[in-house]
């Protein structure tokens, strides 16, 4: 295929760099992880009405009202491999990566009604293709990495013993670096963008929530996060991100959940979550991302005082529009359905070990319209582990 014809479809100039800037580039819910905290992740993310650790504020701040004094340290290892045909079936590019995503939480029962705590959750991506994006001599491989960390200092208040509200306000930081990116220039000749060292952007985000234990066997919860305006990413704000305001905002989202305990040792949790991707220019204008409606459900079974076993699933509509498949060639987070499993082993003395596994069901993105000829196939898995301590 002539170089001129290949480069002429290169609105991927911005996309190829920005794609990695999404907060978890391979996760089930577009750029978000299936669940935060190993226990929640092991239940398909279902957690709004069923808090299990001090990372719960990432899912619903009110959940910290019911987890007691504890510390949690988790890490989710994200693994992905992709096989992509870009623009033409003759141009195949492959890549793979494993990236650690740390999380932590702390909670303290200040009074019988008030808790003070903090949940942090991180996500990120770093994807390296083994060849250049286009068969142009001298073109570097497309490489980029992104990390996003959010800290949520949280206060909860029990209005009654069975009804609590919570609020979180804290900083968010994004770190971005990319190289080997290009745009079409005069007469179709490619123009390479300058590469920079890691650049940072900052913002302040928040979340509110409520949790009501209606009976001893039924609970209902709700949470809401407004859209977070993030600062511009220096350097890239004048090149890759210049058409979308220079930064990548965090989208508004809201969710509701229920938890049912048919037996003393069994809990079934179900969540509905809405993520407003289309309201963020960077996601919508560059990648054609649509809003996602996420349905997630899970079960927890306390086998005895030592072992708890979990399983679950998450279902969502695919965020990217097929007309934007070419722009999403690095952002390989296209698999929108996941199955999960995990367990907790209590070690005594208030200590516990948690393990979770996730596999995202492959769902290829086949290009249409201006992306005809592009097809992205991704395999994605997560291994999560962590330690908790009650005190």
Q: Does the pTM of the predicted model rise above 0.85?
A: yes
Residue 19 pLDDT > 50: no
Shortest CA distance to 16 belongs to which of 126, 143, 135?
Answer: 143
Shortest CA distance to 107 belongs to which of 47, 43, 152?
Answer: 152
Contact 312, 356 (CB under 8 A): no
Domain that holds residue 120: 3-390
Residue burial 186-203, b: 16+ Cβ < 10 Å; e: rest: eeeebeebebeeebebeb
Q: Indicate if the alpha-carbon torsion angle 358, 362, 368, 374 is positive or negative.
A: positive
Scan for tokens 């990390």, then name that residue: 147
Q: How confident is the model at residue 25 (pLDDT cuts 50, 70, 90)?
A: very low
Contact 87, 326 (CB under 8 A): yes
Q: What is the pLDDT of residue 50?
A: 98
Q: How confident is the model at residue 43 (pLDDT cuts 50, 70, 90)?
A: very high
Q: How far apart are CA 358 and CA 70, in angstroms?
A: 25
Q: How far apart are CA 47 and CA 63, in angstroms?
A: 9
Q: What is the mean pLDDT of residues 128-138?
A: 72
- Vertex 212 angle, CA 225 and 105, to 5°: 55
367: Cβ–Cβ under 8 A, 6 or more apart, which residues?
Answer: 322, 323, 325, 326, 373, 374, 375
The token duo for 126 is: 């770093």
- Tally the domains of the chain: 1
- DSSP output for 166-193: EEEEEEEEEEEEEES-EEE-GGG-EEEP
Tens-digit pLDDT profile for residues 320-353: 899 988 877 766 668 889 999 999 999 999 999 9
Rg (CA), the chain: 21
Tens-digit pLDDT profile for residues 165-224: 999 999 999 888 877 666 555 665 656 666 677 889 999 999 999 999 999 999 999 999
CATH number of the domain where residue 173 is located:
2.40.160.60
- Average pLDDT across the chain, whole number: 86
The token duo for 95 is: 């890549």
Residue 295 pLDDT > 50: yes
Contact 302, 265 (CB under 8 A): yes
372: Cβ–Cβ under 8 A, 6 or more apart, which residues?
Answer: none
Q: How far apart are CA 260 and CA 219, in angstroms?
A: 7
């Amino acid at each position: 295929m002539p170089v001129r014809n290949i480069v002429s479809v290169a609105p991927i100039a911005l996309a190829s760099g920005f794609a990695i800037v999404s907060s978890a580039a391979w996760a089930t819910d577009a750029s978000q992880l299936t669940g935060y905290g190993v226990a929640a992740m092991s239940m398909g993310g279902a957690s709004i009405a069923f808090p299990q650790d001090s990372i719960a504020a990432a899912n619903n701040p009110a959940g910290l009202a019911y987890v007691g004094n504890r510390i949690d340290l988790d890490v989710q290892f994200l693994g992905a491999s992709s096989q992509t045909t870009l623009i033409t079936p003759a141009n195949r590019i492959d890549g793979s990566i494993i990236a650690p995503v740390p999380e932590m939480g702390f909670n303290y029962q200040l009074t019988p009604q008030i808790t003070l705590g903090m949940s942090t959750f991180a996500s990120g991506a770093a994807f390296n293709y083994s060849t250049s994006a286009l068969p142009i001599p001298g073109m570097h491989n497309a490489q980029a990495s992104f990390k996003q960390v959010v800290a949520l200092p949280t206060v909860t208040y029990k209005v009654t013993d069975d009804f609590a509200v919570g609020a979180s306000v804290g900083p968010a930081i994004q770190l971005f670096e990319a190289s080997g990116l290009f745009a079409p220039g005069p007469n179709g000749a490619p123009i390479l963008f300058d590469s920079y060292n890691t650049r940072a952007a900052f913002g302040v985000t928040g979340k509110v929530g409520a949790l009501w234990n209606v009976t001893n066997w039924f609970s209902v919860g709700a949470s809401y996060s407004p859209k977070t305006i993030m600062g511009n990413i220096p350097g890239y704000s004048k090149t890759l991100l210049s058409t979308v305001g220079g930064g990548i905002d965090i989208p508004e989202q809201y969710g509701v959940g229920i938890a049912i305990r048919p037996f003393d040792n069994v809990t079934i949790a179900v969540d509905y979550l809405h993520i407003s991707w289309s309201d963020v220019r960077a996601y919508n204008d560059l990648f054609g991302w649509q809003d996602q409606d996420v349905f997630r459900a899970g079960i927890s079974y306390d086998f005895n005082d030592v072992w708890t076993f979990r399983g679950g699933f998450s279902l969502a509509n695919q965020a990217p529009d097929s007309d934007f498949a070419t722009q999403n060639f690095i952002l390989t987070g296209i698999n929108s359905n996941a199955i999960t499993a995990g367990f907790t082993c209590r070690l005594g003395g208030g200590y516990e070990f948690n393990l979770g596994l996730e596999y995202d069901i492959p769902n290829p993105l086949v290009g249409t319209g201006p992306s005809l000829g592009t097809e992205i196939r991704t395999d994605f898995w997560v291994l999560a582990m962590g330690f908790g301590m009650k005190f």
